[in-house]
Amino acid sequence: MIALRRYLPIADWGRSYDRGAFSNDLVAAVIVTIMLIPQSLAYALLAGLPPEAGLYASIAPILLYAVFGTSRALAVGPVAVVSLMTAAALGQIAEQGTMGYAAAALTLAFLSGAMLLAMGLFRLGFVANFLSHPVIAGFITASGILIAASQLKHILGVAAEGHTLPIMLGSLFEHLGETNPITLVIGIAATAFLFWVRKGLKPMLRNMGVGPKAADFVTKAGPVAAVFVTTFAVWALGLEERGVRIVGEVPQSLPPLTLPPMSLDLLEALVLPAFLISIIGFVESISVAQTLAAKKRQRIDPNQELIGLGAANLGAAFTGGYPVTGGFARSVVNFDAGAETPAAGAFTAVGLAIAAVALTPLVYYLPQATLAATIIVAVLSLVDFSILKRAWIYSKSDFAAVLATILLTLVAGVEVGVSAGVGLSILLHLYRTSRPHIAEVGRVPGTEHFRNIHRHKVETDPRVLTLRVDESLYFANARFLEDFLHNRIARDPQIKHVILQCTAVNDVDLSALESLEEINRRLAEMGVTLHLSEVKGPVMDRLQKVHFLQDLTGKVFLTQFEAVKAITRPA
């Protein structure tokens, strides 16, 4: 039973499900469904897929996440960044609008789902930690700019292409003379209206005496109003005949059963994009889930989240969708609307299924410019250049990593950008830990505490060098410690004892062990004794398995104070 509850969280929260939770989940589902209908259509177009693919990717994945996911409020489905990454990956394989393009999207979702599921089963959620938050923030900011730029062609009503900012802007400039004035008016009006809805509608309604819940509901339904008005205008005024591009016919059906193609060439071409989409999607999803869970003191299991997201993506692959993840905006709406359990997501899926069956004829005349406006307003909230200022003030290396990620994403594309982000995150970690902070410490007078001699007035003995290494010792920094000690002792012949205070050393790998052995041997040749203090239990357990402690010229002391006291005690 415990294993069942571990892999099927629904068995946990489902036992206590009651009428109150049902009522709250149902209200949240109605609000999120209203928000998701235009968003799903818009994000599918962003991914280069038919609009119905967005609806399909929002039905089975939500149901599967409700069964396997641990977040009570996370709303799974198409999101802007993953849609952009999907378009970038598939654009290298097939042309948009072809059967091969749509089929490749299924394979991409399948690979992403399989990777996430495997990572969850093998408990590899820690892999996402290799992406630092500043780098992720830089990537999402650049992606927001790319997504907004990619939608300008729909606002202008021109044909443009490209997956990088220079190519997009160049293509837009080249076709600027072909701008459709009516489409431009629709696009600008829809964008302005949606910005006003997001910022100004709710305060206006509250000032008019409308209750907070009603005002919130009307605000969330704002995009639907833009869809209705512009669709009606195109139909009533015959604007399609005047060059306004519309969504057109959307199949009136439930998601179909689909089988992703599994050719070896296609799998090889998509395996890297699928991995990057999986990691980015997981990082975005787990960040949102943990933030919302903390507000209600609930627990999120990252490894089970991998399983939930993996199942959702596999569901998308077999029901005509494309890669999905937990979205920030819709999850916050779901949470604020009062969702108490993942059942809210299941009810949302039912609502979207009804929309797919009954409402799709109503969006035939929906102008693509309105969907583009929906995307632009949604993604510009992701753009946050303040991360550059914070990084510059706090850490120049983090600033360089964020700036490089932003520029590479804009200039070379999302795959290069996120790959560079992963690489830079790892390289920054290796660089920092390869040059650990090593403090020469002395005793604070009248106490048993030891502090940096350059920061505090402390007592020292010229015969004793006491060093505190503020990092675990491993292959990348072991030689740095060797060189530091050699240089320090070479310029001070009075030193007869070295004490390594290991307070911050949580691990010593084999390379570092060999360096410690070499340090012990060199110091012995120089007539200097090596001692250790405050060695942590797990580190001591490993050192006792080898001959290092037997060969150590000095002793291992429980505390730094005991070490200095023993060494400096008069003979």
Residue 4 pLDDT: 56
Strands 438-443 and 497-501: unpaired
DSSP class of 256:
P
Indicate if the pLDDT at residue 2 is higher than 60.
Answer: no
Q: How many CB atoms lie within 10 A of CB 166?
A: 11
Question: Scanning the structure block, which residue is given the tokens 């609502």?
Answer: 351
What is the pLDDT averaged over residues 362-370? 92
Contact predicate 278/112, CB 8 Å: yes
What is the pLDDT averaged over residues 270-276? 94
Percent of the chain with pLDDT strictly greater than 70? 98
Q: How confident is the model at residue 5 (pLDDT cuts 50, 70, 90)?
A: low
Residue 35 pLDDT: 81
For residue 466, the cross-strand partners are: 499
* Residue 429: strand, helix, or coil: helix
DSSP annotation string for 488-519? HHHT-TT--EEEEE-TT---B-HHHHHHHHHH
What is the pLDDT averaged over residues 58-87? 92
Query: Within 13 Å, how many C-alpha atoms sit on residue 148's CB side?
Result: 16
Sign of CA dihedral 118, 8, 346, 329: negative
Indicate if the pLDDT at residue 59 is higher than 70.
Answer: yes
Indicate if the pLDDT at residue 552 is higher than 90.
Answer: yes
Residue 312's H or E segment, with its range, is helix 302-317
Question: Tokens representing 361?
Answer: 């004829």
Distance of alpha carbon 185 from alpha carbon 230, whole angstroms: 11
Contact predicate 248/310, CB 8 Å: no
Distance of alpha carbon 352 from alpha carbon 357, whole angstroms: 9
Indicate if the pLDDT at residue 429 is higher than 70.
Answer: yes
Strands 529-533 and 76-77: unpaired
For residue 450, the cross-strand partners are: 443
The 3 state secondary structure assigned to 155-219 is: HHCCCCCCCCHHHHHHHHHHCHHHCCHHHHHHHHHHHHHHHHHHHHHHHHHHHCCCCHHHHHHHH
pTM: 0.83
Residue 460 pLDDT: 93
Contact predicate 158/176, CB 8 Å: yes
Question: Scanning the structure block, which residue is given the tokens 């690979």?
Answer: 111
Q: Which of 115, 70, 408, 402 is nearest to 279 (CA)?
A: 115
What is the average pLDDT value for the chain, to the nearest integer?
90
Q: Give 197-227 pLDDT, tens digit per residue.
A: 888 888 888 888 888 878 877 887 778 889 9
Residue 462 pLDDT: 93
Q: How many CB atoms lie within 10 A of CB 12?
A: 12
Distance of alpha carbon 392 from alpha carbon 293, whole angstroms: 31
Residue 3 pLDDT: 54
Percent of the chain with pLDDT strictly greater than 90? 60
Q: Give 128-141 pLDDT, tens digit per residue.
A: 777 777 888 888 89
Cα–Cα distances (Å) from 535 to 16, 33, 551, in that order, read 48, 57, 17
Indicate if the pLDDT at residue 1 is higher than 50.
Answer: no
Contact predicate 382/137, CB 8 Å: no
Indicate if the pLDDT at residue 571 is higher than 70.
Answer: no
Taking the CA atoms of residue 120, residue 121, residue 126 and residue 127 in that order, the dihedral angle to the nearest 10 degrees is -80
Q: How confident is the model at residue 522 (pLDDT cuts 50, 70, 90)?
A: very high
Residue 395's Cβ-count burial label (10 Å; 0-12, 13-18, 19+) is middle
Least confidently predicted of 116-120, 329-333, 469-473: 329-333
